[in-house]
Amino acid sequence: MRVISLNVGKPRTVHFVNRDVTTAIFKSPVLGPLLLRRLNLDGDHQADLEVHGGRNKAVYAYPSEHYEFWRKELPDMELPWAIFGENLTTEGLTEEGACIGDHFRIGKAVVKVTQPRIPCYKLAIRFGRPDIVKRFLVSKRSGIYFSVVEEGMVNTGDAIERIHEDQNRISVADINRAYAKGNPDIELLRRIVSLEILPRGLHDEFAEELAALER
């Protein structure tokens, strides 16, 4: 497992659906090394801290393996690294292999898996197509959010080494399956809610969904 691209971006204002929107989803690859801090990667910023960033979403990784899927889904689009707004484009680490609470060493930093990415309309801004949000959710190719346990320098080519396995073994892929609408896995939902392993906002969303299904 390794990092194949470091990506950062600063907020910019764009016109979208008859209004101006400020977003930092337009990221691009940069040369490292960069310091991975508690709240973000050096040179990277978030436009809306109510939804993006914070300790539980300090750094976002997206598997390079998913790009082949999206190239087939969107054959007329160029898909450079970072188009999904990821800070780290990775190789060898997917949602199935990343469990909530797992710790990984990346370069000199240590990060902890916190949750999948739940896309908002700003992904549609980046892609220039409103259908991408639904397609992203349906694909279950969410990428992985991390908190930063130990700050440190990271660089392209750095190995990604698992140094702690969370005992609950609830993967990011499990969270994606539980979040899927239409045919929910109630037992999985119950387990996720009872373990209280997700950040508070997402935990509350799952708890409300479970309560509605059990009425």
Residue predicted with more confidence, 129 or 180:
129
Domains of the chain: 2-173 (2.40.33.20)
Taken in order 201, 202, 204, 209, the sign of the CA dihedral is positive
Buried b (16+ CB within 10 A) or exposed e, 115-142: bbbbbeebbbbbbeeeebbebbbeebbb
Residue 5 has phi, psi (to 5 degrees) of -155, 135
How much is the pLDDT for 50?
Answer: 56
Please name the residue that has the structure tokens 């994606």: 176
> What are 56-84's pLDDT values in tens digits?
999 999 999 999 999 999 999 999 999 99
Q: Residue 182: is its pLDDT beyond 80?
A: no
Contact between 107 and 156 under an 8 Å Cβ cutoff? The reply is no
Q: Residue 95: is its pLDDT beyond 90?
A: yes
Please name the residue that has the structure tokens 């508690």: 38
Q: What whole-number distance in Å separates Cα of residue 126 and Cα of residue 175?
A: 25
Query: Model-level pTM?
Result: 0.94
